[in-house]
Each structure stands twice: as C-alpha cells, then as structure tokens.
C-alpha cells in the first residue's frame, strides 16, 4: 500500500463522513499535547528549530511540551511557530485512526471546530463529499498508509485474536456486530446509580493528566478532583494553572430536554461504532472474570454518559446557568470535555 490510492482504499472513513470542520485560530486546544514524531519529521523540525526538544517512550519519539501542563514548546501567542513542519498528529487533528482489523478513522469531538450536527439525528449520516474542511487531515492519514502500516495492522490483529480466544474460553465473548446491534437499538443512558459521576484525577497527579476543554479563555480549562467538588483550572501555555473555583458535580442525573437526550444518544452510538472503544473494553475485561462483552460495553457506555452529564453540569455552573436541566448546548459542551479522554484509552490495537 505505497500509493495514495491504496491508502484511500485501506482507510475506513465512515465515521468521518458528514462532519464539518472549521479550525478556530483562538483555540489552541490541540497544542496542549505531546505529538508523536516520525524520524523524517524530527529532521525537518531540527532544520527549522535546532533547539527542538523531544522525549522518548519506548521506540517512539514525541515533541516535548512545556512542564506543569503547559502547551507545546512551539505555541507562541496562540500560533504554531513551526506550522510548515508540524508532525503528523498536528496535521491530522481532529482526525485520528485506529489500527485493527481495519484502519478506522474517527473524528475527535473534543475539538470545538467540529460541528456535531451528524450526532443530533441519533447517529452518523452523510457521504464523504458532504464533509467540509477535513480534506487535508484525511489526505495526511492516507499518505501514511504503507507497507509498514500493513505490518502494524497484522500485529494488532494477532493481539486482538489472543484477547478474543481468552474471552471465548471464559464464555464471555460476543462479536462486535452483535453488541452494536443490541445496544444501538436501545441506547442505555445512565441512571441514579452512576451519580455522582466518575471523578477526574486530582491536581497533584499532574496537570497533564487532567481532562480539559476550550472555554473562550486564553488557555483551556481543566477539571480536577478536589475537596468538596471539582476544581476548574485555566491552564497557561508556559505551564501551571490558575484556579477558577471548585464546583459540585450533580448528585443525581440532570433532566434532559428532548434535543439534549437525542444528542447524548447520538454521541453514545457514535462511540459504540468506534473500533478503538470496543478494543479498549476488551482489554479491560482481561482484568476481570465476570460479565460478557455486552455487559462490559454497556457498563462503559453508561460510565461515559455519566461523565458527559457530570462535566456538562459543571460547565453550566461555571457559566452561571442552572444545571438541573440540561439543554442540547450543555450536552455538546459535556462531549467536548470528555471525548478526548476516551480516545486516549489503551486498546489491543494501534494508532496510525
């Protein structure tokens, strides 16, 4: 698969279809990360900026961010200082691809430039020709599909089969299509037993571990577990954060109007369609002995739904709104504050 046509044929773009994207230059959310850097990309960066710093994790090299939850070393006044030589995760954001039995691309819904309209009908609809603003990101993914990708895919498939064999031996395996059909037909939503919702990490566990979101401020806002509730912290590009206060997450599920419920259900169906989501659940199951794949996937969807509602409620409170009943806009803000976390979960697969 060395030419662009082979890459285009290999990449499954169903979960990108229909989404529209307009980058927000005032955002910088994607710059609070440490992107993986390929050898040729590192060479280009060093030619432009000889003082570029990297860190290694296993065999991979990553572009270092500033300490204490700071932004990329090249983010200056909200702009990328090496835009022409930025590494592939930066070129491809807000699209990413999971490597498993197929190369499945998905949209990172934490990005505020992504229009969530395809989720509002309860699922994803549309054709690639109706996708707007993502052509360059998809093209970058396609260009990187080569013989090495085929080898990584084969290795991921072997790992996945080992997981499937073990869960089959334990009488817990159910195939993905069946799980998706059963749960997608009547999407479960979290009840009172999941509230208060799952807590974010504490601040002292590291600012870089905290979930964060764009909130019309110079830096993104992070959520941290704190005494009496969740602390909201505005991150600074140079590192560190200032507190915006501590807010109490909901003790019970907030009420949802019809459009809010429809958007939440649409989001959960979208996540259920991601191979990375199911592969992460399969991996977690190896640590437990009870429950089928369907049980574990349903539990994960309920946990995800509770996180969206909890973070939507806290964001509504931060804006001074009543959080006892959430609107469609509130659910959108909850999705923005949650989606990246779940995409970052480990799977038995790989990331393109």
pLDDT of 98 above 60: yes
As a whole number, the mean pLDDT across the chain is: 92
Distance CA 253, CA 29 (A): 28
pLDDT of 29 above 90: yes
Q: What is the mean pLDDT of residues 236-258?
A: 96
Which pLDDT belongs to residue 123? 56
Which pLDDT belongs to residue 71? 93
Half-sphere CA count of 20, side-chain side, radius 13 A: 6
Which pLDDT belongs to residue 92? 96
Q: What is the mean pLDDT of residues 268-273?
A: 97
pLDDT of 6 above 80: no
> Does 126 sit behind a cis peptide bond, omega within 30 degrees of 0 on the bond before it?
no
Distance CA 341, CA 335 (A): 10
In the structure, what pLDDT confidence band is assigned to residue 137 with cuts at 50, 70 and 90?
Answer: very high
Distance CA 131, CA 20 (A): 5
Which pLDDT belongs to residue 59? 85
pLDDT of 179 above 70: yes
Which pLDDT belongs to residue 259? 96
Residues 6+ apart with CB under 8 A from 191: 253, 302
Kindly report the pTM of this predicted structure: 0.94
Distance CA 126, CA 139 (A): 19
Residue with tokens 């960066």: 45
pLDDT of 147 above 90: no
Q: What is the mean pLDDT of residues 163-192?
A: 96
Residues 6+ apart with CB under 8 A from 123: 266, 269, 270
Nearest to 295 by CA among 306, 307, 304, 282: 282
Which pLDDT belongs to residue 163? 97
Stretch among 73-87, 173-187, 292-306 having the lowest mean pLDDT: 73-87
CA 256 to chain centre: 24
pLDDT of 308 above 90: yes
* pLDDT tens sequence across 57-88: 888 899 999 999 999 999 988 889 998 999 99
Which pLDDT belongs to residue 153? 95
pLDDT of 350 above 70: yes
pLDDT over 70 percentage in the chain: 95
Q: How far is CA 139 from CA 69, 282, 289, 297, 343, in A?
A: 31, 30, 42, 32, 21
Q: What is the mean pLDDT of residues 130-143?
A: 87
Which pLDDT belongs to residue 38? 92
Stretch among 118-122, 124-128, 196-200, 225-229 having the lowest mean pLDDT: 124-128
In the structure, what pLDDT confidence band is assigned to residue 2 with cuts at 50, 70 and 90?
Answer: very low
């Amino acid at each position: 698969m060395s030419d662009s046509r082979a890459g285009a044929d290999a990449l499954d773009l169903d979960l990108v279809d229909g989404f529209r994207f307009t980058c927000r230059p005032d955002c910088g959310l994607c710059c609070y990360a440490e992107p993986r850097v390929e050898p040729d990309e590192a060479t280009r960066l060093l030619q432009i900026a000889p003082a570029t710093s990297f860190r290694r994790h296993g065999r991979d090299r990553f572009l270092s961010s500033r300490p204490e939850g700071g932004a990329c070393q090249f983010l200056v006044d909200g702009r990328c200082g090496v835009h022409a030589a930025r590494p592939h995760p930066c070129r491809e954001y807000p699209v990413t691809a999971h490597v498993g039995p197929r190369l499945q691309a998905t949209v990172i819904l934490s990005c505020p430039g992504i229009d969530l309209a395809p989720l509002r009908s309860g699922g994803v609809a549309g054709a690639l020709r109706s996708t707007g603003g993502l052509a360059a990101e998809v093209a970058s993914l396609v260009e990187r599909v080569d013989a090495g990708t085929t080898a990584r895919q084969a290795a991921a498939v072997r790992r996945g089969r080992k997981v499937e064999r073990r869960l089959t031996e334990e009488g817990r395996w159910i195939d993905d299509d069946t799980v998706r059909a059963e749960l997608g037909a009547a999407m479960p939503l979290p009840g009172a037993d999941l509230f208060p919702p799952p807590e974010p990490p504490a601040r002292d566990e590291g600012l870089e571990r905290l979930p964060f979101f764009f909130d019309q401020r110079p830096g993104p806002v992070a959520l941290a577990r704190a005494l009496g509730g969740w602390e909201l912290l505005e991150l600074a590009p140079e590192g560190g954060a200032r507190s915006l206060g501590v807010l109490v997450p909901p003790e019970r599920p907030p009420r949802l109007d019809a459009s809010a419920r429809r958007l939440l259900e649409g989001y959960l169906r979208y996540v259920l369609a991601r191979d990375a989501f199911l592969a992460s659940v399969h991996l977690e199951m190896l640590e437990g002995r009870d429950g089928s794949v369907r049980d574990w996937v349903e539990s994960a969807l309920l946990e995800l739904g509770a996180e969206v509602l909890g973070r939507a409620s806290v964001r509504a409170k931060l804006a001074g709104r009543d959080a006892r009943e959430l609107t469609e806009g509130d659910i959108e803000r909850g999705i923005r504050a949650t989606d990246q976390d779940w995409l970052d979960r480990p799977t038995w697969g790989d990331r393109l």
